[in-house]
Amino acid sequence: MSAISIWTAELDDRLEVLWAEGLSARLIGEHLGCSKSAVIGRSHRLGLPPHPHPHPPRTKAVVAKPTPPKPVLVVPPPPPPPPVRTCQYPIGHPRTRGFRYCDAPVQVLGSVYCTVHHALCYAGRAWKHASGL
């Protein structure tokens, strides 16, 4: 059993003309008295060229390349502390090139500093002890 087609040679001709004018399938369907889907199906069967898409395809957003990180200033590590029998009083800032330890011989028993730096570091304790604080 075959379905009865509404498409006649005259409707096919009108469809081809309206299609070539660039009307949408919905508008052609309104002119011919049929649905948009019927117009699209018939245009495929007649081999009509596809209409350009009404909305242009989205383009990918241009992503800026990340800027390379700035070079990090590498400061050489401070020298290792000298053996315990030399003064370990730091001279200079540990992150500068001129940083070093005193390296004078330790004279005070149980201290890690030479006599001069020991007096400098522990002067406050003697003063507090003498004043009774």
Separation CA 78–CA 96 (nearest Å): 8
pLDDT at 94: 86
Cβ proximity of 102 and 86 under 8 Å:
yes
| Local structure of 11: helix, strand or coil | helix
Separation CA 31–CA 21 (nearest Å): 13
pLDDT at 52: 72
Average pLDDT over the chain reads 81
pLDDT at 85: 82
Look at the chain and count its residues: 133
Of 87, 23, 83, which is closest to residue 51 (Cα–Cα)?
A: 23
pLDDT at 90: 92
pLDDT at 54: 66
Residue-wise pLDDT tens for the chain (133 aa)?
A: 466 778 888 999 999 999 998 888 899 999 888 999 999 999 999 999 887 766 777 777 777 788 888 888 777 777 776 556 888 899 999 888 889 999 888 887 778 888 888 888 877 655 555 555 4
What Å distances lie between residue 9 and 6, 13, 19, 42, CA to CA? Answer: 10, 6, 15, 12
